[in-house]
Chains A and B, each alone.
Chain A
Amino acid sequence: MTMKHKEAKIKGVNLHIIPFSEIRELSISDRIKKILHLVLGNKVLIIQGRLRPEEEIRLIEDTMAMVDHVKTFKGIELAVIEPDLGDETFMMKVRKGIAKTLVGHHNALTIIGPASIVKEIKKDPKKLEVLLG
């Protein structure tokens, strides 16, 4: 699947779509740097694929460092939409997620936005609601 780099404005919200090919070759540090750079620019990101667990936790860590240093930055909202994996358990999904990340095939979508814009992301197994502030 190929996705072209897109930007769209919905009622003043700047959506930024990142195809996996755009971050595939980046190191963890560069991926996180790129994500945070865009989020600091008040963009809501939709990333094709999902970050590995260690990248997610690194994103939280670096987000906190930014909150500490950038006066108006309050942090992020983050959620992952998984494809229908049937009866697979959480552990299987995590393992599969790790394997997929390594080979670069992604069906999941990751939403990351600045907390000042994305008030809340409500998630349950079947739906995801993004509440804008």
Chain B
Amino acid sequence: MIAFLKRFFSGWFKRRDNLKIGFYGPPNAGKTSLANLISQDWTGESVGIVSEVPHETRQIQFKEKVEVEHKGKKLVFKIVDTPGIATKIDYEDFLRFGLKRGEAKRRAKEATQGIIESIKWLDDMDAVIVVMDASENPYSQVNLTIVGNLVARKIPVLLVANKIDLKNASVKKIESAFPDYDVVGISVKKRINIDELYEALFRLAKKV
């Protein structure tokens, strides 16, 4: 109830050019890669470091005043790139990426704190882009829990199915798992469907 009132009243004073758009999703779906792509396109700067080692992003990262112009429309927003949400963290998983034991343990500890931080920030978002790996099963509980919480909080959501360049990727699977939502299939790595992404970004901002 408090969260609802907070959103209701903040909506009165919110300027449409000062939106906070969160990038949420499971680890390694490409949240920071997508945030970097958008930020580099419009500010020339990156948001964060990307890596094949899961939980590279362990703290919330921001890029203020990203001004996107697309087909005569303009949108200014703040990118809020969040650590990937997971239900388990095992430091031994990092060892196979060549990390030393101490480094892996430190990464695991920071990753758990990052997940807590991501969850705490949910209420502050005006809109959220949920980034999923199109080559993975979309029915994972983390995806369902994130989207379920956005529905419960009445936060507009855009689903981005990333990595469509991979052989086993399926945007259709994500669309059938979440038929109520705008789903855009893209590849950040190969810059596929980025125009459609920007179109969808404007549709998302309109819902706020």
Q: Is the CB of A76 within 8 A of B87?
A: yes
Docked pose: A75 CA to B55 CA in angstroms: 15
B129-142 vs A, Cβ < 8 Å mask (1 yes, 0 no): 00000000101111
Q: How many residues from A make CB contacts under 8 Å with B?
A: 32
On chain A, the residues within 8 Å of B151 by CB distance are: 53, 91, 94-95
With A53-B149, A75-B88, A90-B180 already in contact, the answer to whether A121 and B141 are too (CB < 8 A) is yes
15 A-B pairs with C-beta separation under 8 A:
A53-B152, A57-B119, A57-B145, A57-B146, A61-B120, A63-B87, A64-B89, A67-B88, A76-B87, A78-B141, A78-B145, A97-B148, A115-B90, A121-B141, A125-B139
Contact of B179 among A54, A78, A90, A124 (CB under 8 A): A90
Q: Is A11 at the interface (CB under 8 A from chain B)? A: no
Q: List the B side residues contacting A125 at CB < 8 Å.
A: 139, 176-177
B86 at the interface (CB under 8 A from A): yes
B149, A57: Cβ atoms under 8 Å?
yes
Interface residues on B, range: 20 to 34
Contacts of B109 in A (CB 8 A): 68
Let me know if B141 and A80 touch, CB within 8 A: yes
Q: How many Å from the CB of A4 to the closest CB on chain B? A: 27
Residues of chain B with a CB closer than 8 A to A123's CB = 137, 139-141
Residues of chain B lying within 8 A (CB to CB) of residue A105: none
Q: Which of B119, B177, B180 has a CB less than 8 Å from the CB of A61?
A: B119
- Bound Cα distance A106, B122 (Å): 27
* Contact of B77 with A by CB under 8 A: no
Closest partner residue, chain B, to A74 (CB atom): B90
Q: How far in angstroms is the closest Cβ of chain B from A96?
A: 12
Q: How far is the CA of A132 from the CA of B89 in the complex (A)?
A: 17
